[in-house]
Amino acid sequence: MDKFRFVDLFCGGGGSITGCIDALNAAGVKYEGRGYNHWDIAIKTIQMNYPEIIPDFARACAPIESVIPDEIFADDPQRIDVIWASPSCTHHSIAKGGKPRSNQLRSQPEYLLPYIRLTKCRRLYVENVSELESWGPLLDKDTKIKGKLYKAGTPDPREAGKFFDLWIREIKASGYKVDLAYMNSADYGAATSRERLIIQAVRKSAGEKIIWPEPSHSQYSDLFGYKPWRSAAEIIDWSIPGKSIFGRKKPLCENTIRRIEAGIKKYWGAWAEPFLIVLRGTSDDQLDYSAIPLSSPLPTITTSCAHVALIRPFLTRYNGGDNRNHDVNSPVPCIDTSNRYGLIQPLFIPQHGGGTVKPVSVPLSTIATTGSIGIVEGRILVMPDGQRYKMDITHRMLTTKELAAATGFPRDYRFAGDDTAMKKQIGNAVCPSITSALYKAFLAA
C-alpha cells in the first residue's frame, strides 16, 4: 500500500505538520511528507522534531514559488494526498490597522495554483485570517470614500473580495470543488480561542466529498455533550513568580494600568479571581475588552507573543516571616476557632492630589504621568498571633512553554532560535488540533 503523502507549504514552526502527523499516527497510517518555508529557523525547528519531513534542509528552506511541485517526490511525483498551506496573513489581518500593506505578501495564495495544476492532489487545505475573504486591490494614493479618508497602500473598500473571488474561481477551474468554514481552535481542544478561515478544495476526479470535522469542545459545556473549553489556567505554570505592579523603578504605562483596572472591575468581585490581561490595542473598546478570565482559552496568539500578561492575586504576609506569599487559590494558613474572618479585597489609593482609598468596584482616579498609584491594606485578615495579610498584584508575561502549550504543541516539542524567534513561530503556528481534526475527518471518510 502506498504511503500517505502530504506537502505543507508556509509550514512555519510546524503546527500544521504536528497536527497532521498526530492524525496519521492515530489512524496507524504510514506517511511521507515534506515541508517548505523561507525562514531557516522555522525549518530548523521542524527538522529537530520531524527529521523525516526535512531530509534536505537546503531544498526545504526556500520560498514556495521556487519549488517545482511535480518534483517534490522522486517516484510518481504527481501523487499527493493533501497539500496544506498557510500563506502570510499579516497583510490581510485587521491587526495591521491602517498601515500600508505589501501586495507581494497579500498575493501569496496565488502561489498555490501551480501545486494543484501540476499534481493530482486529492485535497487542498488553506488556512488564514477571515480578512482573506476581502482580499482585493490596494489604493495607490490617499482616497476619500463616502466621507472617510483611506491611506495609500490600504485595501480599497469599494473592491473588497475582488481578488479572493477570482482566486476561488481559479481553484474551481483547476478541477476542484471548494468550500470554506471558520474554525475556532478552542472547539477542537486547544487552550486558545484562535479562529481561522479554512478553505477546503477537493479534486473532482478523486470522487470524494468535502468533509468538516465535528467539534470536540464547546464554550457551553452542556451543548450536545461536548467537553468544555480548556481554560488558560491549565497551561499556566503557577510556580513562576510575577513582579508586583507597585513600587517599580519604571512604573507600568497608563494603558496597562487601565487594563488591569478593567480586569479587576470585571472579574475580581469578592474573591478576587485571577485574570489575564491582553496588552494589545489602545482604543477605549480594546481597553475595555482586554481582560479575560482564566476560565476561558487564551485569545489568538500573535507573532510577537508578547501581548498576553498574567495578572495574579495572592496574599502577602507583611509583618515578616519566611513564607510570606500565599496563593488566593490555596487555603489560608491554619486558623483556629478564635479567629475572625475578613473579606480579602484589594483597595487602591492615589498617592497624589490628596486622593482617598477606593475599592476595586470603582474606576481608578486620574493616573498621573508618574504612575503613582499604590495599594493599601483595605480589609485585612488578622491571625491569632498578630500576623496580618494584604493583597498584592503581580504581573508577568507568559513564557514560551505556556504559549506553546496553549497553542497545542506537545510538551517535548522543541523550537530553534532565541526567545523572540520561538514566540514568533508560536504566534505564526496553526493550532495542531485544527489540523488534526481535519485530517482525521478525511481519513475516516
- Same domain for 218 and 259, yes or no, is no
**In this structure, is residue 27 part of a structural domain?**
yes
Phi and psi based region of residue 418 (left: phi greater than 0; alpha: psi -120 to 50; beta: remaining): beta
**In this structure, is residue 234 part of a structural domain?**
no
| pLDDT value at residue 144 | 93
Residue 262: domain span: 243-397
**In this structure, is residue 238 part of a structural domain?**
no
- Same domain for 347 and 423, yes or no, is no
**In this structure, is residue 259 part of a structural domain?**
yes
- Same domain for 151 and 22, yes or no, is yes
| pLDDT value at residue 106 | 64
The answer to whether the CB of 17 falls within 8 A of the CB of 33 is yes
- Same domain for 267 and 153, yes or no, is no
| pLDDT value at residue 360 | 33
- Same domain for 256 and 388, yes or no, is yes
- Same domain for 432 and 377, yes or no, is no
| pLDDT value at residue 121 | 97
**In this structure, is residue 408 part of a structural domain?**
no
CATH code of residue 138: 3.40.50.150
**In this structure, is residue 367 part of a structural domain?**
yes
- Same domain for 366 and 430, yes or no, is no
**In this structure, is residue 88 part of a structural domain?**
yes
| pLDDT value at residue 328 | 38
**In this structure, is residue 403 part of a structural domain?**
no
Number of domains present in the structure of the chain: 2
- Same domain for 22 and 146, yes or no, is yes
- Same domain for 191 and 272, yes or no, is no
Q: Tens-of-pLDDT digits for all 445 residues of the chain? A: 699 999 999 998 999 999 999 999 999 999 999 999 999 999 999 999 999 999 999 999 999 999 999 999 999 999 999 999 998 765 445 555 556 555 655 678 889 999 999 999 999 999 998 889 998 888 899 999 999 999 988 889 999 999 999 999 999 999 999 999 999 998 999 888 888 999 999 999 999 999 999 999 998 867 678 898 888 778 777 777 777 776 778 887 776 676 666 666 665 654 455 556 565 555 666 656 566 666 777 666 666 655 556 555 544 333 344 443 334 343 222 222 222 222 223 333 333 333 333 333 333 323 222 323 333 533 344 445 555 545 566 667 778 898 888 889 999 999 999 988 998 898 888 999 999 999 999 999 8
- Same domain for 375 and 435, yes or no, is no
- Same domain for 262 and 387, yes or no, is yes
| pLDDT value at residue 220 | 81
- Same domain for 55 and 99, yes or no, is yes
| pLDDT value at residue 383 | 47
